[in-house]
Every structure is written in C-alpha cells, then in structure tokens.
Amino acid sequence: MTPTQIELVQKAWGKVTALNNSYVAEVYEELFRLSPELSALFPDHPQLPVTKVSETLNTVITSLEQLDALGFIIRDLGRRHQKFNVQSHQFDLLKQAMTVVLARRLEGRFTPELAAAWSQMYDEVAALMQEGLRQPTDTLA
C-alpha cells in the first residue's frame, strides 16, 4: 500500500468506528445476510466476538505502516481460525460485507480512491491470514 492509501483507509476507519464496536456488529449482520449458512460457524450467535474483532481490526488498520512487522501475528490469527472451519473462499464474502458497511456509513465520502485503497488493504491482510489458515496446526495447541 502507498502512504496515500494508508492515510485514506485510516481516516475512513476513524470516521466509521471511533473505537465503536457497532461497525463490526453491522459487518456480521451483512455477512449473514450475504451468506446465511455462515451463521452456523457461530453456534453462540448472540455471543459474537464483536469486541475482540473490533480491537484486532483497529490494531491492524491503525498500524498499516508496520504491516510487515505484524505479518506473523496476522498469520497466527489465520491459523487460529482453522478451529472455526473457516474456508479461504469466505474471505471474499467478508470483504464484500466489510466494504458494503463502510460505504453505507461513509455515504458520499466513499470515493473510488478510498474503495481501491480499502480493497488493497483488505487483500493484503486477508492474504496473510490465509497463509496462516493453510499452515499445519500443531497437536498441542
């Protein structure tokens, strides 16, 4: 990502979240609307990990300048998603849900430049998570 793309994504993130968990809750709603069968991955549906996901997204997005340094953490996050039976193709659905919610919240401020920057950011982070998702798990964890 370019510095300009990073700035666009971080400013947009600050406008839609302000450390508020409602963005992630809305993303889950959109994700389940797009693919209702995904709700089966969350047997404790009312107990969605909204706060944890919000905090993780905030850490990653506010640290995009250090994405290379965060790579091992993001890969490990992907590896840990194996236990939830997450599949690589589901990342496309999540990208769609996250983008729809971002665009909805930003309304007219969701520019083509921001859309491209957001897409680039998501693709880079998702690629790292998917690397982790493909890693063999150790039997001790």
SS3 letters across 9-50: HHHHHHHHCCCCCHHHHHHHHHHHHHCHHHHHHCCCHHHCCH
Report the distance separating Cα 113 and Cα 27, nearest Å.
21
Report the distance separating Cα 128 and Cα 50, nearest Å.
21
Tell me if 96 is assigned to some domain.
Answer: yes
Q: Which domain holds residue 29?
A: 3-134
Residue range 9-18: mean pLDDT, rounded: 88
| Banded pLDDT at 121 (limits 50, 70, 90) | very high
| Banded pLDDT at 140 (limits 50, 70, 90) | very low
Can you give the CATH number for the domain in which 47 is found? 1.10.490.10
Tell me if 139 is assigned to some domain.
Answer: no
Tell me if 140 is assigned to some domain.
Answer: no
Helix-strand-coil split of the chain, %, nearest 5: 80, 0, 20
Tally of structural domains, the chain: 1
**How do residues 77-104 score in pLDDT, each as one tens digit?**
999 888 778 888 889 999 999 999 999 9
Tell me if 29 is assigned to some domain.
Answer: yes
Using CA atoms of 98, 58, 61, 42 in order, give the dihedral in degrees to the nearest 10: -40
The amino acid at 78: G
Whole-number pLDDT of residue 47: 62
Whole-structure pTM over 0.85, yes or no? yes
Classified as helix, coil or strand, 111 is coil
> Does residue 119 contact residue 61 with C-beta atoms inside 8 Å?
no
